[in-house]
Structure 1
Amino acid sequence: MDLPVTITTLVVLLILATVCGWRGARPANILKGPRLMPWRPLMMICVVAAMLLLVHLLNLLGLETGHQARY
């Protein structure tokens, strides 16, 4: 992926993680029944994907994040 696509995807994932965290923190409504969307696991999936994209973004900007060879 190139730089604009990576930044756009990173921003979208961070917005999704924020929305999922907000929805997961709302109190349960007993009258409506159980929640059908697992908001907290969805938030964690978005956060992990955003972290991977952040590392990819740093690599695109020239910072080497891989394993250093030992001599």
Structure 2
Amino acid sequence: MDLPLTAAAAAVFLVLAVLFGWLGARPINVLKGPRMMPWRPMMMVCVVALMLMMVHLVNLLGVQTGNQPRY
């Protein structure tokens, strides 16, 4: 993935993580019944994807992450 696409994906994952966190933090309405969407696990999936996008952005900018090659 190139730089603009990675930055756009990171922004989308950030917005989704904030949205899902907000939806998961709302109080439970007993009259409506149980929630059918697992907001907190969906938030965590977006946070993990955001972290991967951030590492990929740093790699695209020229910083080497990970283990150094052994010679």
TM-score (norm 1): 0.96
Aligned length: 71
Q: Specify the alignment match of 2:39 in structure 1.
A: 39
What displacement does 1:69 show?
3.5
Q: Specify the alignment match of 2:51 in structure 1.
A: 51
Deviations 1:10-63 (A, max 9, x none): 000000000000000000000000000000000000000000010000000000
Secondary structure at the counterpart of residue 37 of structure 1: coil
2:66 and 2:59 map into 1 onto residues whose CA distance is 9
Identity %, equivalent residues: 65
Any stretches of 5+ residues in structure 2 without a counterpart? Answer: none
1:68 and 1:37 map into 2 onto residues whose CA distance is 42
2:68 and 2:62 map into 1 onto residues whose CA distance is 15
Where does 1:1-71 land on structure 2 (aligned, <5 Å)? 1-69=1-69
Over aligned residues, Cα RMSD in angstroms? 1.0
Any stretches of 5+ residues in structure 1 without a counterpart? Answer: none
2:42 and 2:63 map into 1 onto residues whose CA distance is 29
